[in-house]
Structures are given as C-alpha cells and as structure tokens.
Chain A
Amino acid sequence: MAYLEQVFFVVALGITAWFITKRVKLIARAIKLGRPEDRSANAGERLKIMLEVAFGQKKMFDNPLVGIMHFVIYAGFIIINIEILEIIVDGLIGAHRVFAPFITPIYPFLINVFEVLAFGVLAVCVVFLTRRWVSKVQRLQPERHRELKEWPVKDATYILVAEIVLMLLFLTWNASDSVLRDRGIGHYGELQGVVPDFLISQYLKPLFTGFGDGALVAYERAAWWLHILGIMGFAVYVTYSKHLHIALGFPNVYFSDLKPKGEMTNMPEVTKEVQLMLGISPEQADPSGGNENGEQPPTIGRFGAKDVEDLRWINLMNAYSCTECGRCTAACPANITGKKLSPRKIMMDTRDRLEDIQRGWVQNGPEFKDDKSLLGDYITVEEINACTTCQACVNACPININPLDIILQLRRYKVMEESQAPGSWNAMFSNIENNMAPWKFSPSDRFNWADQVNQK
C-alpha cells in the first residue's frame, strides 16, 4: 500500500514536470519570436532594480495597504515552498515529516512560520475576492473593462479560490495530523514528543476530535494528497494563466528599460537613409558610389510592428508577465475618458496572439503560421491612436511592463509601411516637412516674435 502511494507520487510528479517543461519550452520559443535585442549590459543596475522592484515589491507599496496584502501572499508563496520540499521528500520515500527528527529544535518554529503565512495568504485571498466581487474595485470589473470579460475574470477567481483551498488543506492536514499524533496511532505516534502542536492548526483540532481513527487517517491522507496534487496542478495551470507573473515577474523586471521613460527606441535602419538623403557623413552613406547596384544595407524587416514577431522579445516577455491588475489602465488618460484604449488590453492582446500562435504550433506543427496579425485582428487602430504617450501606464506597472513601447511600434507600422494616418496627422507631417513646424506658418516668420519683446 505504501509503495503504491510512492509510485503514484512519482508518476504525478513526473507528469507535472513533463507538462511544465513542455509549457516552458513553448513560452520560451514564443518569446524568441520577437526581434533580438541585447539587454545584458548594466548587470549591476539591473540587479539593483530587480531587488527593489521584484523582490522588494517597491512599486506595489504605492498603495501601502494593498502592498502589504500582496506581500503576504508573495512571502507565503516563497517561504511555504520550503515546506513543499519536505512534502515532496515524504512523498518520494514514503516518510512522514522526514525532516522533523533531524532538525527537531527548529522544526516547530519553521512549521509555525509556514502556518502563520498560510493563514495570512488565506485571509488576503478572501479580501482580494471581496475586492473583486463585493467592493468592486473599478479596475477589476469586466463591466467596465471589456478585456476582462469571460476567461480573465474566471482565471482571477480560480487562482484566489485555489490558493484558499490549498491553504485550508495545509492547515487542516496539520490539525488532523496533530490529533493522530496525540492518539499515538501508527507512525503518527512516533513523533509524539518530537513535534508539538502548531500555532494556527492547534485551533482547528476540535474539528477532528469527533472523528474515528480510520476517518481521521483518511482525512489526513486526503488532505495531504489533495494539497500536493493541488500544488502540482496549480504549477501547470500557472503557465496558462495570468498568474505566470510569479515566475516571469523577476526576469521581466531585470530586463526592463533603463532609459528615461520619454525616450523612444531609435530606428538605426532609418538613420542611414536619412543621412543619404541629406548628403551627409559620406564615410557611412557615400552617395556617389552607393547606388542600387552597390552595397545593400543589411536586410531590413518591417518598419514598426504589425505582428508579434516584429516586436522586441522584451515586449513579448512583458505580455507573458502581465497579471492583468489594470493599474496601467486605471492611470491611462485615454481610458479614464472613455476611449477604447486600455494598456492592459494591449498586453493581454499580445499574449493572446502568442497563445494562439502556440496553439497553432501544437496542433499543426512548429512551422505553422496563420494569416492573422496583432494589429488588425487583436488591436485596432482606434486604440493605438488614442494614446497620449504620457507614460502613466509604464509608471503604474508594478513589474515595469511597457505597453507604450508596443503602441508606438504599431503606430510606426501603420504610418511607415501602410502610409495610413489620420488626415490631420498627415497635414502635420507635411507642415513639418515644408514649414519646419507642425503648423502652416512660413518658416521665415519663425523669429517674428522677437519684434514684440519690448512691447508692453
């Protein structure tokens, strides 16, 4: 019987590992669809930002109360994982609290810490569910934000409920185990005097005092198994879910932009052409010798971005890291005033596009490519044209995601490849081209203002 449990455990662990490996490879391949860009420089500065923003959750504390609550879940996630280690070893070798005899003096302390965190996680998840469904925090409402309809709002609820259930299983498992230990039943009794009652689960013991020995063992086993199988299932689920930020948040912050928020990424492939046209820097452009038969510039892809493979890989990692909290959208002036643009939707659409491509790979082979594109089939021109490039979304993101960068690359495609811009933008372009100002004034009048400096 015990061996059967061990075999089952190994199989469950194996299946989990296989699924996760498969998903990680797919996601990595999807991120690599993006244009290459070297972000390895400034490791020290990047590390510092990752410690502050990812590990330290600095930006989450812009709202201190929510920051503290999120920190509880985050700390719980990291620290309770130590207990998972013992559970896995127990499962593999068919032991019960295998570490207890070796670290007897600190074992109760450790479990107490886990229990307090587990209780904290449970409580915060209840508060977070309340914020979504009862007090109706605006940025989380599908009625107000169309990108949250259907799956995203379910996803969010599943995650919170799953975490509550897992924590309840963990705490009641400890409680039922304590009662079994008190009764001195089987191997449970062996830890009598080694392992005491724990800080939180001791209060749950009365729930189990009415249980017969058989029922109690059954509950203990069921809770143990459901807890660990739940964690395995959750780990796989996370790779499909917005909750992937628990893993990708860290590299995402590490590789985030270091330049000032107002600085747009340069397009060096354009510079060469511009220099040629202006007849400058002959050592680079050489207008006399460099004609169509001469040296071709390195192959230029599309100007701007039409689809995910035109974006940079960091934009795609951003999309997988987004947990759809909507702080970006709540700060977006366009969204606040009822425009279609929502920076969160830009990130969700980018991920949806990637997930659709992934599904195509799985179903039709790794070379599969459908005829859809990010701009047009997922994101509309009306959305990207509503952006004021104010960077409030970039500033608001707790893990330094940059929706603006995607919007601007889509705009570049629209204008440079398709020559499609609102009429008044085209007028502005031609004014700049002809009059050196975005308005239709004569360039020779540019200095006329100086005539007025001595007028009262």
Chain B
Amino acid sequence: MTQDTMQYAVPTMAEMMAAGEEPEILFWVGCAGSFDDRYKRVTIAFVRILNHVGIKFAVLGPEEACTGDPARRAGNEFLFQMQAVSNIQVLNGYNVKKIVTACPHCFNTIKNEYPELGGQYEVIHHSTYLQQLINEGRVKVAGGESFKGRRITFHDSCYLGRANKVYEAPREVLAALDADLVEMKRSKANGLCCGAGGAQYFKEPEPGNKDVNVERVQEALGTGADTIAVACPFCMTMMSDGVKNQNQEERVKVYDISELIAQGQGL
C-alpha cells in the first residue's frame, strides 16, 4: 500500500461499539486538536501515522469534552469536576483502558487527576507512543522528506516534562529523523515554560517587561535551529507567535513531533 492509495479513516468509539469491536487505543484528541486550525494538522498527522501502521484506534468524536484542566488551574474546581466526572462516565461507559493523547495537559489531567474521581486508565502521551512504535520497528522514517543537515531544538512542555518526567521520549522520536538535535540551555527539568500553562493561554499576561514566549523563542533561536519541535498544542501556539514576534517565520518553523515523523514518512 502506498501513500497515494492509502485511505485514512477515523473510527469513533460509538461505531466500534456498534460493530462489537474494541480498539487497541483511544486517541484523545483534545480541544486544541479538534478546533485549533494549526493543531488540527497535528491531529491529522498523528491519525495518518496510526492508519499507516495499522493501529486499531478510535476517537470519541463529538462525545469528547474538555478535560477541565484550564478551569482547574484557574481555580474553578467545580467546573473541572463537572467536566471530569462527565468524561469519566463516557470513558467508563465504553470500557476504555488505554488512552493516547497529543496534549500534555489532557495527558496530565486524565493520568493523574481522573483516578481519584473514578477514572482509571493507562494514559500515554503521543511522544511515548511514537517512541514505542519506532522502537518496535513499526514506524520507520523513510519515503518522505530528508532531515539530514537540519537543526532541530526540542522545547519541553511543562506538563509533559516536569509534571510527568517525560523528557527522553520526544527526543528519541526526533532522533529517528537523523537531524541535528540541539538543546537549549534551559531544557528538560530546567526547561522554561512557553507562558501558556495555568490558564494563562486564556487571558492577557499580567503586566511585565516581556512576554514569556518571546523569552523562550529567543533562547530557541539562539541554538541556530531551523525547526522548533514541540509536543503540546499550547506550546505550539506560543512558540509560533514568538517566532513571528522575532520576524523569523520564514526561516524557523514550529512543528509537533508527530508532524515531523509524518513528513519523514511522506504521509
């Protein structure tokens, strides 16, 4: 099967259930992955990889709802729990066991904060999932764009890195591209936030002398990288805006790790 003839499909849990089937994984798309024009491209790239590998997956589709993360971090516990308890009802109703998501905020919330409210699942971030697929030889970076000679720097998402200590998986995924990986001075446990977390994304920043994303992008540009790799929808927006702020959007691109893999595979 070649890329040209490959027809990508996105089955929903409802369809799977009606057919009496159970997926290997539930792909939790998240609000940004569903609605944000830029991050929809990440969702699509990841879904193409899943199709290409032949993973039996499903999404909740219209039944998915915000995990409640921004509400909780802003202080609205009531709204968070309304979201969480309803989502858990849906997930448990489908007997979901394994969830993969491309959003570190959804990942952290479902993995760490849903269990106490009755939602026990194996939750995996797409960076770890991609790493597993690469290690198992199921994803091979071939047939697409060549990354040889390109410089990539990875920006750690707080809710993937510090929050859950996932530092190596996204880097190992990038290593499969055969590009030059360069680290920023503040990386991994010491990584600098993009400025979006804690519901900052949903309001103007408090008064200061600089925007956090500009500070971070300047550091990223300092590595001489032509690609800033991210693994979070909010980092994606913040870093892209920062690159524009520095008038570097022609030279430096911001991509999610799954987009880079899909490019390498020609998907």
Contact = CB atoms under 8 A, between A and B. Distances in A.
Interface of A: 259-264, 266-268, 270-271, 273-275, 277-278, 280, 303-304, 331, 333-334, 336-341, 382, 385-392, 394-395, 408, 411-416, 421-422, 424-425, 427-429, 432-433, 436-439, 441, 443-450, 452-454
Interface string B99-128: 000000000100011001100000000000
Contacts of B205: 337, 339, 386
B68 A390 contact: no
Given A331-B190, A388-B193, A412 B77 contact: yes
A304 B81 CA distance: 15
B71 interface: yes
A428 B199 contact: yes
B202 A425 contact: yes
A337 B208 contact: yes
Given A425-B74, A436-B65, A449-B29, 16 more contacts: A260-B112, A260-B165, A263-B112, A264-B113, A334-B212, A336-B192, A337-B195, A388-B193, A388-B200, A428-B202, A436-B64, A438-B31, A446-B34, A446-B62, A449-B40, A449-B44
Interface of B: 7-10, 12, 29, 31, 33-35, 40, 43-44, 47-48, 59, 61-62, 64-66, 68, 70-79, 81-83, 85-86, 89, 108, 112-113, 116-117, 158-159, 162-165, 189-193, 195-200, 202-212, 214-216
Given A415-B74, A439-B31, A278 B86 contact: yes
Contacts of B73: 264, 389, 408, 411
30 contacts: A261-B164, A263-B112, A270-B81, A274-B85, A278-B82, A278-B89, A333-B192, A337-B208, A337-B209, A337-B212, A337-B214, A338-B209, A339-B205, A339-B207, A388-B158, A389-B73, A390-B193, A390-B197, A392-B190, A408-B75, A428-B71, A432-B68, A436-B83, A437-B35, A437-B66, A438-B70, A443-B65, A446-B34, A447-B59, A450-B59
A388 B162 CA distance: 13
A292 B264 CA distance: 62
B212 A333 contact: yes
Given A278-B86, A453-B47, A436 B40 contact: no
B35 A441 contact: yes
B35 A428 contact: no
A430 to B, nearest CB: 9
A411 B75 contact: yes
B71 A429 contact: yes
B44 A437 contact: no
Nearest to B78: A270
A331 B31 CA distance: 29
B209 A263 contact: no
Contact of A416 (B35, B68, B78): B78
Contacts, number: 222
B35 A395 contact: no
Nearest to A404: B198
B75 A414 contact: yes
Q: Which 3 A-B pairs have the closest CB atoms?
A: A262-B163, A389-B198, A338-B209
B162 A261 contact: yes
A277 to B, nearest CB: 7
A415 B76 contact: yes
Nearest to A413: B75
A339 B204 CA distance: 12
B78 A273 contact: yes
Contacts of A338: 207-210
A30 B195 CA distance: 35
B241 to A, nearest CB: 14
A454 B206 CA distance: 42
A439 B40 CA distance: 15
Given A261-B162, A389-B158, A412-B75, A395 B190 contact: yes
Nearest to B29: A449
B264 to A, nearest CB: 17
A230 to B, nearest CB: 39
B35 A334 contact: no
Nearest to A341: B206
A391 B162 contact: yes
A105 to B, nearest CB: 48
Contact of B206 (A266, A340, A412, A424): A340
A263 B198 CA distance: 12
A275 B85 CA distance: 8
Contacts of A337: 195, 205, 208-212, 214-215
A146 to B, nearest CB: 14
A421 B74 contact: yes
A412 B40 CA distance: 32
B189 A416 contact: no
Contacts of A428: 70-71, 74, 199, 202-203
